[in-house]
Structure 1
Amino acid sequence: MRALHTAATGMMAQELNVQVISNNIANMRTTGFKRQRAEFQDLLYQAYRRAGSSTSDQGSIVPVGIEVGTGVRTAGTPRVMSQGSVTPTDKELDVAVNGEGFFMVRLPDGRTAYTRDGTFERDNTGLLVTLDGHQIEPGITIPDTANAVAIGADGAVEAFLGTDAQPTRLGQIQLARFVNKGGLESIGKNMFVETAASGPAQLGTANIDGMGALMQGYLEAANVNAVTEISDLIAAQRAYEMNARVISGADEMLQATTQLR
Structure 2
Amino acid sequence: MDISSYVLLSHEQALQRRLDVTANNMANTSTVGFKREQPVVHEYVEQSGDTAVPSASATSYVLDYGAIHDTGMGAFQATGNPLDVMINGPGYLAVEAPGGGTAYTRAGFVKVLPSGDLATTGGQRLLDATGKPINVPPDQLSNLNIASDGSISGPQGVLGRLAITVFPDEAGVTPRGDGLMAASGGTILAAADTKLTSGGVEGSNVQPIVETTAMVEILRSYQSSQRLSQAMDDLRKNAIDRLGRFT
Aligned pair 1:130/2:125, yes or no?
no
SS in 1 for 2:7: helix
* 1:17 corresponding residue in structure 2: 18
* 1:178 corresponding residue in structure 2: 167
Bigger fraction of residues in helix: 2
1:258 to 237, 240, 244: 240
Aligned pair 1:147/2:132, yes or no?
no
* 1:54 corresponding residue in structure 2: none
SS in 2 for 1:34: coil
CA distance in 2, matches of 1:70, 1:99: 39
Summarize deviations over 1:177-208 as a string: whole Å, max 9, x none: 1111221222112222224xxxx1211234x2
SS in 2 for 1:66: helix
SS in 2 for 1:44: strand
Q: Relative to structure 2, which stretch is displaced further, 67-76 or 250-259?
A: 67-76
SS in 2 for 1:135: coil
* 1:58 corresponding residue in structure 2: none
CA distance in 2, matches of 1:77, 1:108: 24
The answer to whether the Cα contact below 8 Å between 1:155 and 1:205 also exists between their aligned partners in 2 is no
The structure 1 segments of at least 4 consecutive aligned residues displaced by more than 4 Å after TM superposition are 45-50
CA RMSD across the alignment: 2.1
Equivalent runs, 1:59-98 vs 2, <5 Å:
66-67=55-56, 69-98=59-88
The answer to whether the Cα contact below 8 Å between 1:2 and 1:70 also exists between their aligned partners in 2 is no
SS in 2 for 1:170: strand
Consecutive unaligned residues of structure 1, counting only runs of 5 or more, are 51-64, 161-166
The letter for the 2-side match of 1:36 is: E
Higher Rg of the two aligned structures:
1
Q: What is the identity percentage for the equivalent residue pairs of Structure 1 and Structure 2?
A: 25
The answer to whether the Cα contact below 8 Å between 2:68 and 2:170 also exists between their aligned partners in 1 is no
CA shift at 1:46, angstroms? 4.6
Summarize deviations over 1:101-127 as a string: whole Å, max 9, x none: 211101243311111111111111121
CA shift at 1:48, angstroms? 7.7
CA shift at 1:49, angstroms? 8.0
CA distance in 2, matches of 1:170, 1:44: 58
SS in 2 for 1:259: helix
TM-score (norm 1): 0.82
CA shift at 1:242, angstroms? 0.5
CA shift at 1:173, angstroms? 1.4
CA distance in 1, matches of 2:182, 2:23: 23
* 2:42 corresponding residue in structure 1: 41
The answer to whether the Cα contact below 8 Å between 1:8 and 1:243 also exists between their aligned partners in 2 is no
The answer to whether the Cα contact below 8 Å between 1:102 and 1:176 also exists between their aligned partners in 2 is yes
TM-score (norm 2): 0.86
SS in 2 for 1:230: helix
CA distance in 2, matches of 1:7, 1:107: 41
SS in 2 for 1:148: coil
Consecutive unaligned residues of structure 2, counting only runs of 5 or more, are none
CA distance in 2, matches of 1:126, 1:168: 16
The alignment of Structure 1 onto Structure 2 pairs a total of residues equal to 234
1:103 to 76, 88, 93: 93
CA distance in 2, matches of 1:193, 1:2: 39
* 1:156 corresponding residue in structure 2: 151
SS in 1 for 2:69: coil
